[in-house]
């Protein structure tokens, strides 16, 4: 049984480089399907979600490899097999982003309904409704969505919610549509801007990236390009939360403070001294964090991915905080694991009341998803005794060498295949 074994080892010190953004890289790789030839994506982390996307693209007919510097090269043929199979898509929800590129270029796509982290219902209706407005027709049967069109036609699309993944899918599809597409209430995340930059380098005509209104003038053909993915703000947020929990003085190379303003404001209110630098972000903290209320909201608000990290910091904070989840209804499922470690957290609906305790207690816990898994590892930094976190496969989906980076900062974290003590 693979697990992380964590012990408190005092304040963290040193510097680490933030990996490329998982939530960007996967969409950049899928966008390579829009053009015949080889597209190069740099700053790609070695995580299992990237491996899954490689398998998805390979099943579609692309050839994917890493070069000697670690860049991912996706060679897309003239004619793809526009089918994304169940056994791959069920592993990772982001696989749905191949739907838009396949429809745009091949006018047909058959994609399994997606899987991924289990923290509540996240239907793809918003994707299908928007692509239907561009002229696609869909049928759903036997666990697959099948879409057809002659050529997508530009139109005005109003999203009922600024979904990051839906915006990516529609943006990619609209690049090859006839005429102009306008996406209202579009997601504004840095990763959407990153995708728009790659598509622009491929010959797409896009304006408004980073705002709630995207305008895309369709072109007849795109060409391959090279692009370096933006840094992963969620990994940066995770390492900053580690400083808030364990204390210390840490520098995150490559991190973009402007991509996480609201999160940094929350950490600052907790007492963490955060400073933008020429090379990234520095964070210093000593003592015990202060409790602050948190509500998740679409970007540029506090991202739902940040919430398990903040709840873990609040679990050892001075005072009482109320945390409200406004994105996914089921995203408090890790709270029982924190309670096993002595956290005082009460949940009701989409709210949690967190009463900070002076110290957590090491215990065997299980990661239910990527970000909650990382948060449980961080909880071990503030716990007496030993914490064993199983469900490592979830953490490996989003973090490259997570234990190695924490060790580089002085944390006592190691990966083991041993069975937890007392279990058989």
Q: What is the pLDDT of residues 44-57, one digit of tens each?
A: 999 999 999 999 99
* Sheet strands side by side (includes 180-184): 156-158, 180-184, 213-217, 205-207
Average of per-residue pLDDT across 395-399:
98
CATH tag, 22-228:
3.65.10.10
Average of per-residue pLDDT across 299-311:
97
Write the burial class of residue 258 (CB in 10 Å: 0-12 exposed, 13-18 middle, 19+ buried).
exposed
Give the pLDDT confidence score for residue 119 in this predicted structure.
37
> Sorting pLDDT into bands at 50, 70 and 90, what band is 141?
confident
> Sorting pLDDT into bands at 50, 70 and 90, what band is 424?
very low
Domain 3-19+231-416 is found in CATH 3.65.10.10: yes
Q: Report the range of poorest mean pLDDT among 113-122, 130-139, 209-218.
A: 113-122
pLDDT of 284 higher than 90: yes
> Sorting pLDDT into bands at 50, 70 and 90, what band is 417?
confident
Q: Report the interhelical angle of 22-31 vs 164-174 (nearest 10°).
A: 20
Q: How far apart are CA 142 and CA 140, in angstroms?
A: 7
> Sorting pLDDT into bands at 50, 70 and 90, what band is 331?
confident
Give the pLDDT confidence score for residue 419 in this predicted structure.
53
The helix (run of H) or strand (run of E) holding residue 30 is helix 22-31
Give the pLDDT confidence score for residue 90 in this predicted structure.
84
Among residues 215, 130, 219, which one has the least CA distance to residue 176?
219
Give the pLDDT confidence score for residue 343 in this predicted structure.
98
By annotation, the residues acting in catalysis are 117
Region(s) of the chain under CATH 3.65.10.10: 3-19+231-416, 22-228
- What is residue 110's three-state secondary structure? strand
pLDDT of 330 higher than 80: no
Q: How far apart are CA 334 and CA 377, in angstroms?
A: 12
pLDDT of 296 higher than 90: yes
What is the average pLDDT value for the chain, to the nearest integer?
94
Average of per-residue pLDDT across 378-394:
97
Average of per-residue pLDDT across 325-335:
84
Task: Say if CB 311 and CB 338 are below 8 A apart.
Answer: yes
Among residues 415, 416, 370, 368, which one has the least CA distance to residue 397?
370
* Sheet strands side by side (includes 351-355): 294-295, 320-324, 351-355, 344-348
pLDDT of 107 higher than 90: yes
pLDDT of 422 higher than 90: no
Give the pLDDT confidence score for residue 421 in this predicted structure.
47
Q: Report the range of poorest mean pLDDT among 39-43, 117-121, 200-204, 249-253.
A: 117-121
Average of per-residue pLDDT across 167-195:
98
Residues 6+ apart with CB under 8 A from 412: 6, 7, 8, 9
**Token match 């991509």: residue?**
259
Q: How far apart are CA 6 and CA 363, in angstroms?
A: 10
With a pLDDT cut of 70, the percent of the chain lying above it is 96
Among residues 187, 228, 233, 180, which one has the least CA distance to residue 210?
187
> Sorting pLDDT into bands at 50, 70 and 90, what band is 306?
very high
Task: Say if CB 15 and CB 253 are below 8 A apart.
Answer: yes
Give the pLDDT confidence score for residue 1 in this predicted structure.
78
**Token match 């979830």: residue?**
394
Output 361 or 93, whichever has higher pLDDT: 361
pLDDT of 58 higher than 50: yes
The helix (run of H) or strand (run of E) holding residue 251 is strand 248-253
């Amino acid at each position: 049984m693979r697990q992380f074994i964590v012990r408190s080892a005092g304040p963290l010190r040193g510097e680490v480089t933030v990996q490329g953004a998982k939530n960007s890289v996967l969409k950049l790789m899928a966008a390579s399907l829009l053009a015949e030839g080889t597209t190069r994506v740099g700053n790609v982390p070695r995580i299992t979600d990237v491996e899954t996307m490689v398998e998805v693209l390979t099943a579609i007919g692309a050839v994917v490899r890493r070069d000697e510097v670690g860049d991912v090269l996706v060679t897309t043929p003239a004619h793809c097999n526009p089918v994304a199979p169940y056994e791959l898509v069920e592993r990772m929800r982001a696989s749905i982003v191949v739907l838009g590129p396949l429809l745009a270029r091949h006018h047909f796509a058959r994609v399994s309904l997606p899987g991924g982290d289990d923290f509540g219902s996240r239907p793809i209706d918003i994707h299908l409704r928007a692509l239907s407005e561009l002229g696609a027709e869909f049928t759903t049967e036997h666990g697959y969505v099948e879409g057809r069109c002659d050529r997508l036609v530009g139109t005005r699309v109003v999203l009922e919610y600024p979904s990051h993944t839906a915006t990516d899918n529609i943006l990619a599809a609209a690049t090859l549509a006839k005429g102009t597409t306008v996406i209202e209430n579009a997601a504004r995340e840095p990763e959407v801007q990153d995708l728009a930059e790659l598509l622009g380098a491929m010959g797409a005509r896009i304006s408004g990236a980073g705002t709630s209104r995207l305008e895309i003038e369709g072109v007849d053909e795109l060409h391959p390009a090279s692009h370096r993915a933006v840094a992963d703000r969620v990994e940066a947020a995770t390492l900053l939360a580690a400083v808030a929990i364990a204390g210390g003085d840490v520098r995150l190379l490559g991190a973009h403070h402007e991509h996480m303003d609201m999160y940094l404001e929350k950490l600052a209110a907790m007492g963490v001294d955060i400073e933008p630098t020429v090379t990234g972000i520095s964070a210093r903290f000593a003592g015990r964090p202060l409790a602050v209320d948190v509500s998740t909201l679409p970007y540029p608000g506090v991202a739902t991915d940040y919430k398990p990290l903040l709840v873990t910091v609040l679990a050892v904070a001075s005072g009482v905080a109320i945390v409200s989840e406004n994105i996914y209804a089921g995203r408090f499922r890790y709270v029982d694991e924190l309670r096993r470690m002595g956290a005082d957290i009460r949940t009701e609906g989409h709210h949690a009341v967190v009463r900070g305790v002076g110290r957590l207690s090491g215990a065997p816990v299980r990661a239910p998803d990527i970000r909650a898994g990382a948060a449980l590892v961080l909880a071990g930094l503030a716990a007496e005794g030993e914490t064993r976190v199983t469900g490592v496969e979830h953490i490996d989906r989003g973090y490259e060498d997570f234990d190695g980076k924490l060790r580089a900062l002085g944390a006592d974290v190691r990966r083991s295949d041993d069975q937890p003590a007392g279990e058989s």
